[in-house]
Structure formats: structure tokens, C-alpha cells
Amino acid sequence: MESKKIVIGNLKMNFLAQEITAYLKKLEKMDCGKRVILCPSTIYLPYFVGKNFELGIQNISAFESGAYTGEVSAQQAKSIRVHYCLVGHSERRIHFQETDEMIREKIRQALKEKLKVVLCVGETETEKDELKTYKVLKKQIRTALRSFSGKELSDVIIAYEPVWAIGTGKVPSNTEISYTIGFIKAIVKELFDVEVAVLYGGSITEKNIAQLNKIENVDGFLVGSTSLNADKFKKIIEVVVTQ
Ligand code: PGA
């Protein structure tokens, strides 16, 4: 059966304008189709429009439009052909104090515009050590997704990203990831009666992707720092999408 897994590259706050052409040139010849999504800095989104991959935005406003200095609305993102948005990334929760309630409002705006939402969830190292992973994930998911219809939730994907695995080189075992993804799918089914796709993210490299890709219930991957290197990112795409 053909794999339908997706790969998202989260470029975070990296690159200068003059570095982007070379980066895009390297990705240009890939047969990415709709299953590779790149999320550059918002200011660079126009450079990435109309290429051989889908476009995502790293963050979206919880407001619809108007006097919200520095914000970018879902409507605006949609108007330049952005189809995905990351919501609730742990860096936004940690550095910008985003709460599950704020995240829900962002999701509301995104879904109104029919953007595909990638809701990031994950436990910290302390929470893991205190055996609170499942409790934390359940709360993050329940609060963020409460009040949406089953139809709306069909545009939501969940990315399981343990905070302790992001940018650290530490990766849970395949068994641990698979178990947690199974838990997330079961929780979403129990709470909202919908099936959800679940990605894994955290210290994915061109070296460990073949191993991670063996996880049976994973629906794709969210890649941070390795996506900054076009050659390495291409290898990940090859393993997951084009092979
Ligand atoms: P990383 O980041 O791949 O650099 O660990 C993942 C992420 O933040 O989505």
C-alpha cells in the first residue's frame, strides 16, 4: 500500500533572505508533491510560494483581523496560499507563554479559514520523570480541541513532540513513540469521536529517519534543525515520501 505519510520542515527563525535561493534550488528537483510542507519564517513565506511543496506558517493569530500589531491572521496566510499552520509548538508555549486556551483560539481562526492545523503537544523532561506524560498530553489535547465539530477536527493533525527531545539529540525508542501515538489516537477518538493523524517530532536526522519510519502507527514527521540543511532534509523526504 502506498504510504501517505507527510514530512514537515520547521525552519524556525533561521536563514537570511540571501540564503533562501540556494536552499530552494536544492529542494527544487525533489518530487515532493503535497506531502512535504515547509514552514519558513513568516517574513519569507512569499519566497516559498508556488514551489514543489506545500506551505505552512509557524504561528497564527488568535484574532481575526484589525489592530493587533505584529500578528498575522489565518486569512492573510490563506491569501498567499499557505495551507498549514503549526499551533502550540513548545517554543511558543515556553518563550511566549501560550496557554492551551490561547492555542484553542488560534485553532479556531485557522479552522475558519480551512487551514490544516498541526497541533504540537508534548511533555517536558520533568513531567516525563514524574510519569505525567499521558496526563499532560490529555490535558493539552482536550483543552485545545474542545468545542470543535468532528468535521472541523478533520483538518487537525497532532504532532507528538516531547519537549526533552527537541533540539537535544535525544529520541525516544520506537516502542515508546508508537505507544504514545497510540495513546493520542485513542484519546482523540474517546473525547471527540474522530480519527486523527499523528506525527512524531524531536531530533529527527537523516541518520535516524529510516529507523523512525518503521513505527507502524506514525503518520509522518516534523523536522526542525535537520530541515535547515537541504541535502539532509532531502534524505528524510526520500525515506518517508518518495522512496
Ligand atoms: P528538532 O526540532 O528537529 O530540531 O529537534 C523539532 C521541532 O521543534 O519541531
Q: For residue 60, what are the CA distances in angstroms to 96, 115, 176, 201, 217?
A: 13, 10, 31, 20, 28
| Atom in ligand 1 nearest the alpha carbon of residue 202 | 5
Is 89 an active-site residue?
Answer: yes
Cell numbers representing residue 218 in the block: 506514525
- Separation of CA 127 and ligand 1 centre (Å): 19
3-state helix, strand, coil in the chain (%, to 5): 45, 15, 40
| Atom in ligand 1 nearest the alpha carbon of residue 120 | 9
Task: Tell me what pLDDT residue 242 has.
Answer: 79
* CATH number, span 6-242: 3.20.20.70
- Separation of CA 175 and ligand 1 centre (Å): 20
Give me the residue spans of the domains in the chain.
Answer: 6-242
Pocket test for ligand 1, best of 166, 199, 208, 227 (most atoms within 8 A of CB): 166
Is the pLDDT score of 146 beyond 60? yes
Task: Tell me what pLDDT residue 178 has.
Answer: 98
**Worst-scoring range by mean pLDDT, 24-28, 41-45, 61-65, 166-170?**
24-28
Task: Tell me what pLDDT residue 3 has.
Answer: 59
For the chain, the average pLDDT equals 95
Query: 3-state class of 116 per DSSP?
Result: strand
51 bridge partner residues: none
Is the pLDDT score of 1 beyond 60? no
Instruction: Tell me the C-alpha distance between 130 and 135, whole Å.
Output: 11
Which one of 89, 91, 123, 127 is the catalytic residue? 89
Task: Tell me what pLDDT residue 30 has.
Answer: 78
pLDDT digits (tens, 9 = 90+) for 179-233: 999 999 999 999 999 999 999 999 999 999 999 999 999 999 999 999 999 999 9
CB 64 within 8 A of CB 70: no
Pocket test for ligand 1, best of 85, 204, 229, 232 (most atoms within 8 A of CB): 204
Instruction: Tell me the C-alpha distance between 191 and 185, whole Å.
Output: 10
Strands (E) located in the chain: 6-10, 36-39, 54-57, 84-87, 116-121, 156-160, 197-201, 220-223
pTM of the model: 0.96
pLDDT digits (tens, 9 = 90+) for 71-130: 999 999 999 999 999 999 999 999 999 999 999 999 999 999 999 999 999 999 999 999
Nearest to 233 by CA among 17, 32, 66: 32
Percent of the chain at pLDDT > 70 equals 98
Instruction: Tell me the C-alpha distance between 142 and 218, whole Å.
Output: 21
Task: Tell me what pLDDT residue 34 has.
Answer: 83
